[in-house]
Structure 1
Amino acid sequence: MTLILAHRGYSSLYPENTMLAFVEAEKVGADGLELDVQMTRDGELVVIHDEKVNRTTDGKGFVKDFTAQEIRKLDAGHQNKSLSKKEKIPLLKEVFEWLMGNSMVCNVEFKNGLFPYKGMEEKVIALVRHYQLESRIIFSSFNHYSVVHTTSLAPEIETAPLLAEGLYMPWIYAKSIRSSGFHPHYRAAPDQIIKQAIDSGIAVRPYTVNKETEMERLIKVGCSAMITDDPLKGVQIRLEIMKRS
């Protein structure tokens, strides 16, 4: 069965990478989450996609220049006028604590392409182990050095390189860096690539899949998972296909 992973939570309706978006994704039946992790000036792990807070919050500046206390004062839901209360940027440990109460998987993306946050991988791994979530976490990054480093530190936790472009025999590449999957842009994941990868024992989880036709294609071909902004749509389409088959 193709798993439905909510991209930054239920981000088509709620502020991305917030506890609200994660909780709502669970409510509509998503099998898991995809979220992004960065580090504050004082070394706290926070869940936010951009290197700057400008787009998603009412603040300005780089994540790395804020302390945890300062970044927590920002409103990550300020663009959504229908929200009655402020949405904070979550701490990664808050999300992990919440995950203890359900069975969702969680794809943690290391946002360390622009700023190589020193020691971030070690801190995230320590947190995963603290909450005993090893079997439910997948680490991914566009920084493949980080993926390799993570695998060497925690071989028991699944890793998957992110691929923006098509790659020749990506399952061979994934195996070569000891990853058990890869996360391509959905346009770089034609049926043949998906089939060959899965036949080779390598998981394929394309991003960011929002078109119904693409969702249908991926579910029908037996893709491992898809990462989508609209988990409800994904869950509904999967249900329809299962009823028909």
Structure 2
Amino acid sequence: MTLIFAHRGSAGTHPENTMSAFKEAARVGADGIETDVQLSKDGEVVIIHDEKLDRTTNASGYVKNRTLMELKTLNASSNYKGKWGKEKIPTLEELLIWLNNNQLFCNIELKNTLFPYPGLEEKVIRLIRAYQMEERIILSSFNHYSLVHCHRLAPEMETAPLYRDGLYMPWIYAKAIGGSAIHPNIRVAPDVIIRASLSMGVPVRPYTINKEAEMKRLYKLGCSGIITDFPEAAVRIREGLKSK
């Protein structure tokens, strides 16, 4: 069965990377969530996608220049014009505590391509181990040096390179850097690549799958997982195919 990962939570319907978006993903029956982590000025692991605060909060400037206490005063649902009330930027620890009360998988993307965030890998892995979540976490990043570092620190955890340009035999590349899956942009994941990767035992979870036709194609292919902004629709479409 193709697993459904809710991109930044149910980002198509709720403020992305907030607890309300994650809870909605759980409510609608997603199999997992995808989220992003960075470090605050005082070295805390926080959940937010952009390096800048401008798009998703009522503040501006870089995440890395604010302490956790300062980040916690911001409204992370400001682009929803009050529809969901005030949402705080969660910490990874808050998310892991919540995940302990359900069975969702979690794909944590390390946002360390623009800023290297020294110590991010160690802190993320330490938290995952503290909450004994190793079996349910996938670590991904566009920074593949970071993924190699993660694999060396925690060989028991699954890592998956994110990429948006075509790779030749990406399943071989993934294994070469200690990865056990690939997370390609859907534009560089044609059927032939997905089938070949699956045949070599390397799961494929493309992003960002929001169109019904694309979901159906990937379900029928037996793709390992999809990362989508609309988990409720993805679950409905998957159920619809099952009943046929």
- The two structures have a TM-score, normalised by structure 1, of 0.98
The residue that corresponds to 1:243 in the other structure is 243
**Distance between the aligned counterparts of 2:2 and 2:65, measured in 1?**
39
**Distance between the aligned counterparts of 1:178 and 1:14, measured in 2?**
34
Displacement of 1:84 after TM fit?
5.2
The residue that corresponds to 2:51 in the other structure is 51
The residue that corresponds to 2:162 in the other structure is 162
In the TM superposition, what whole-angstrom CA distance separates every residue of 1:123-153 from its partner, at most 9, and x where no partner exists?
0000000000000000000000001110010
1:138-217 matches, cutoff 5 A: 138-217=138-217
**Distance between the aligned counterparts of 1:134 and 1:177, measured in 2?**
19
1:1-245 matches, cutoff 5 A: 1-83=1-83, 85-244=85-244
**Distance between the aligned counterparts of 2:121 and 2:84, measured in 1?**
35
Is the 2:55–2:79 Cα contact (8 Å) retained in structure 1?
Answer: no
**Distance between the aligned counterparts of 1:205 and 1:184, measured in 2?**
7
SS at match of 1:79: helix
Displacement of 1:85 after TM fit?
2.7
In the TM superposition, what whole-angstrom CA distance separates every residue of 1:34-91 from its partner, at most 9, and x where no partner exists?
0000000100000000000010000111000000000010001112134353100001
SS at match of 1:109: strand
Q: What is the identity percentage for the equivalent residue pairs of Structure 1 and Structure 2?
A: 58
**Distance between the aligned counterparts of 2:142 and 2:162, measured in 1?**
5
Which structure 1 residue ranges, 4+ long, deviate > 3 Å from structure 2?
none
SS at match of 2:83: coil
Is the 2:5–2:31 Cα contact (8 Å) retained in structure 1?
Answer: yes
**Distance between the aligned counterparts of 1:10 and 1:174, measured in 2?**
28
Is the 2:72–2:88 Cα contact (8 Å) retained in structure 1?
Answer: yes
**Distance between the aligned counterparts of 2:214 and 2:150, measured in 1?**
31
The letter of the residue matching 2:74 is: L
How many residue pairs match? The answer is 244
The letter of the residue matching 2:23 is: V
Instruction: Show structure 2 runs of 5+ residues with no match.
Output: none
- The two structures have a TM-score, normalised by structure 2, of 0.99
